[in-house]
A and B are shown apart, each in its own frame.
Chain A
Amino acid sequence: MPAFPPFPEAARQAVGDGVLRANLRHATHTIRDKRARAVAELADWDRLRAAGKAVKDHTLRHLDHYLVQLEEAVTAAGGTVHWAVDADEANRIVTALVLATGEREVVKVKSMATQEIGLNEALAAAGIAAYETDLAELIVQLGHDRPSHILVPAIHRNRAEIRDIFRTEMGRWGRPAPEGLGDDPRELAEAARLHLREKFLRAKVAVSGANFMVAETGTLVVFESEGNGRMCLTLPETLISVVGIEKVVPTFRDLEVFLQTLPRSSTAERMNPYTTLWTGTTEGDGPAAFHLVLLDNGRTDTLADATGRQALRCIRCSACLNVCPVYERAGGHAYGSVHPGPIGAILSPQLRGTASAIDASLPYASTLCGACYEVCPVAIDIPEVLVHLRERIAQGGPVTRNGVRVRIRPARGHTAERAAMRAARLLLDHPGALSTATRLLARARRLRPRRLPGPGRAWTDTRELPELPAESFRAWWTRERGTPR
């Protein structure tokens, strides 16, 4: 695993990058405003949200039942199911499947699961080239970069940077960028179309993830906009889908909830341009061979934590990123994981454990303002899980790692905590974040006790929760800084 700097250090660098901050601010505010309008259109949004939460909670509680049912349905529909305990096993399975086809290259649909396990690197080590086909992922891959947002992974790049990347890198991977390529988004998209079409038309093997899997029918679902997903899912002879075990839902009907909530929460559209649903294989239409790799990689450990498991409800819509004042200023890279933003702050330390500095600092990468909870289409109480994880790190306690119940020791001197508090101060030391934060804090204060009940009590007895002051944010700011803004 790469050694990422802990959140405060990474965030400090990002905050100093004016271009990045401007890009991020523009992006997150644009998407969040559009999203609010798309959601307001549905009078029953709260009920859809409650149903989505209930479907996911129910499925998690009976995950063994539904995975076995899914396996039966996929197999009956002509697919083959594989089970992977961790990243290494998943990578070995996919590599072996690709090698068995005799091919040495694969086209890929944007997938966080395959990023999480480092599949591209594992395939490269086996002499297999993996081509990302989502435009943003292509920009990230050609730029030797990392994604920084769930939905728009190259949001930290502006058009001139993208043009430069295309000019210098496309030719090394395939069809070069057209002569004299400019930086108009239309021209850049056209260059990507030409570059990738070559790959689509010759590809024999594709690798994807999935947004949902239906236990009852064995159906997999992929949401996308560009058509690169459809290309990968239907043109090659072999399709390999790597999917986290938490992505299963019980019935085909359950999709009626998520087909309504995911696009509106994610891209702020009534529906994304393309949604593909497939069940096993279809004679004469699409791949002749379909493999489903079910991935654990820390998910069952997360499931073992009764408070933290709600993170597994996440449908990766990215709405929480776009409303988060910390994400807006720190950027996605600061989270040191493929899961950035508020959801990353609770998911990564659970999937990976809190042994590393970055993972121990992530639960502090938040003001606990509660905006992420309010937008979440499956009502994940991210602040609750953040506080829970902070307690774990500060006080130690029982956790499940690799299926084994262990007890972690308290973090010595709470170094992560102190460093994180400094980072939070730094991040909010900017008037731009203030108006939002003020409003949200005022609301959050009503919902959150100043002292934590239960086992958190001892911890909060000696520590104020500085992120939730009893006074208003503005008053606190004035007291701290001396000048009202």
Chain B
Amino acid sequence: MSSRDRILARIRRAVGERGPDAEGEPGASGRAGAPGYARIPRDYLRVHGVRTPQESADLLAAHLAEYRAAVHRTDRHGLPALLAGLLDARGARTVLVPPGLPPSWLSRAGQARVADRAASTARELDAVDSVVTGCALAVAETGSIVLDAGPGQGRRRITLIPDHHVCVVRAPEQVVDSVPLALALLDPARPLTWISGPSATSDIELDRVEGVHGPRTLEVVLLTAAED
């Protein structure tokens, strides 16, 4: 008997005769669940509180700041100058640019561009100073930005190896209030990275230290609608 069959047989013996579902629910409800799945209580909240889009963006900003991410706000007219300023202030000489990043975003930045190429080695990426990306969405209640490798985000490693990550969130469109609302919008087939503040550790006497391995500086730009 293979180990697979042995484990499955042990499970079946361990849970005993399940028989027809005790409370008379008709059989397995498709691929998502075994009998009884639909009866799992889901009376928890979809969202904690009622907020205007403005309040949601403010909550996101407050939670990110609590995690010691720097938060900036601008509109599309101010974005190129803001990004250029952030990169200059950092002293960055090179910036990683994911393929779908709108070209206008970095139109004012003087840094040498490094393309997100599959052939680049981790060591090459380690020499890059900063990375600028968009995101898939952001979650206000938890202060998280979520990347899904979509346009303007690139491969997972480009937001990991450089020490400085600038992430642009379009507010209010990309801001959702809660984790349940966020998961419903995400595609599990894509690689997903949830980022809530910069890399941090509390392993030494519970003293929080920012940055062990991931970017030690996270800057989030809330890009609000421009008033034309």
What are the interface flags for B84-127 relative to A under an 8 Å C-beta threshold, 1 for contact and 0 otherwise?
00000000000000000000000000000000001001110010
Residues of the A chain whose Cβ atoms lie less than 8 Å from the Cβ of B42:
51
A414 at the binding interface (Cβ < 8 Å): no
Are A285 and B180 in contact, with the CB atoms below 8 A?
no
Residues of the B chain whose Cβ atoms lie less than 8 Å from the Cβ of A64:
8, 11-12, 15
Give the interface SS of chain B, mostly helix, strand, loop or mixed: loop
CA distance A278 to B7 in the complex (A): 25
B157 at the binding interface (Cβ < 8 Å): yes
Are B214 and A284 in contact, with the CB atoms below 8 A?
no
What are the interface flags for B63-99 relative to A under an 8 Å C-beta threshold, 1 for contact and 0 otherwise?
1000100000000000000000000000000000000
Q: Chain B interface residue count: which class? A: 35 or more
Within 8 Å by CB of B213, from A23, A41, A155, A226, lies A226
Are A400 and B14 in contact, with the CB atoms below 8 A?
yes
A-B contact count (CB 8 A): 263
Contact A273 to B188, CB < 8 A, known contacts A226-B213, A235-B122: no
Other A-B pairs beyond A136-B203, A277-B188, 12, CB < 8 Å: A135-B201, A135-B204, A162-B204, A185-B204, A185-B209, A225-B200, A253-B183, A276-B191, A277-B191, A278-B191, A286-B157, A403-B6
Q: Which of A137-167 contact B (CB under 8 A)?
A: 139, 152, 154-155, 158-159, 162
Within 8 Å by CB of A55, from B40, B188, B202, lies B40
A26 at the binding interface (Cβ < 8 Å): yes
Contact A185 to B156, CB < 8 A, known contacts A227-B213, A270-B143, A273-B200: no
16 A-B pairs in the complex with CB atoms less than 8 angstroms apart:
A43-B48, A44-B44, A48-B44, A68-B8, A85-B3, A85-B7, A154-B203, A188-B204, A231-B213, A245-B7, A253-B180, A270-B142, A271-B196, A273-B67, A284-B118, A403-B10
Are B214 and A273 in contact, with the CB atoms below 8 A?
yes
Residues of the A chain whose Cβ atoms lie less than 8 Å from the Cβ of B10:
296, 300-301, 303-304, 403
CA distance A136 to B11 in the complex (A): 35
A251 at the binding interface (Cβ < 8 Å): yes
Contact A27 to B193, CB < 8 A, known contacts A201-B126, A231-B213: no
What are the interface flags for B125-148 relative to A under an 8 Å C-beta threshold, 1 for contact and 0 otherwise?
010000000000001011110000
B226 at the binding interface (Cβ < 8 Å): no
Within 8 Å by CB of B195, from A47, A48, A274, lies A274
What are the interface flags for B1-32 relative to A under an 8 Å C-beta threshold, 1 for contact and 0 otherwise?
01110111111111100100000000010011
Q: Chain A interface residue count: which class? A: 35 or more
Residues of the A chain whose Cβ atoms lie less than 8 Å from the Cβ of B142:
260, 263, 270-271
